[in-house]
A = this chain, B = another copy of it.
């Protein structure tokens, strides 16, 4: 159970079977950094082309297709004070006729935020809007991360799928464990796209984009086959579906949760579905990117009762 300090030198804007940057063992911890969505590092210097550049891939010894890789986020925290966001709602999240009311500019307009990493806040500093010096508490999360897909694929970090990717779900924060279906030897884990804060849906096309310090610990569940990313935190178990429209993302997440309740919690279908019918909670990841994200949650306290 080694701890690896890894300093990235190159980044990928697709998640696929590339040469591993580090080989780690089941139980190992990695301490590393990620650049922001635009490719700028902790000094806000552009070091790689933008588009959610990823740190990795990390090869997990012993991981094979059909296994599950657990990734626990030990620490996720911005490592600089400059953050930026999109200024206007994306045209695909508002009524089509409303789009014509949004200012059309040649250049994509950006808002800028000052992060106070001690106090844990982000304050809007430009442009001048009626929000004034609007300040929000940090809630750091990773927007885009995942494992290499199978079939020789390499999938753009603009989008998402069963392998993870650009899900922009605020539940992917420090203290959460995320489970991925392993599709290639070594799993090949990538991490990137830190957000200091993000609303549901990532509806201006960004969270507060910033470079991050990232520490995670992997563990392998041999022979445990899952179909979509799963997660758990102190209070909930979570499944995630990625697709368009949202309806389909929700179908994936709901089906995966139904399977989870039946295989791991001893429920029959009637029991699992009845519990889901009255207790399920949905949250929405991004509705900005080519594939949208829906998270499906069940309270652990409900499952504890089942014994």
- Interface residues, chain A, CB within 8 Å of chain B? 12-14, 16, 51, 85-104, 109, 111, 124, 127, 129-132, 134-136, 149, 151-156, 197-204, 206-208, 243-248, 250-252, 254-255, 258, 266-271, 273-284, 287, 290, 292, 305-306
Indicate if the CB atoms of B281 and A130 lie closer than 8 Å.
no
Closest B residue, CB atoms, query A203: B277
Could you tell me the distance in whole angstroms from the C-beta of A14 to the nearest C-beta in chain B?
4
Indicate if the CB atoms of A292 and B154 lie closer than 8 Å.
no
Sample of 18 more A-B contacts, CB < 8 Å, known A130-B266, A246-B246? A14-B151, A16-B153, A86-B277, A92-B96, A98-B258, A101-B104, A111-B274, A129-B267, A130-B306, A132-B306, A134-B271, A135-B305, A201-B282, A203-B276, A203-B277, A204-B277, A208-B278, A246-B250
A177 to B151, alpha carbons, bound, how many Å? 29
Closest B residue, CB atoms, query A274: B111
A199: which B residues are within 8 A, CB to CB?
276-281
Known: A154-B153, A154-B154. A136 touches B278 (CB 8 A): yes
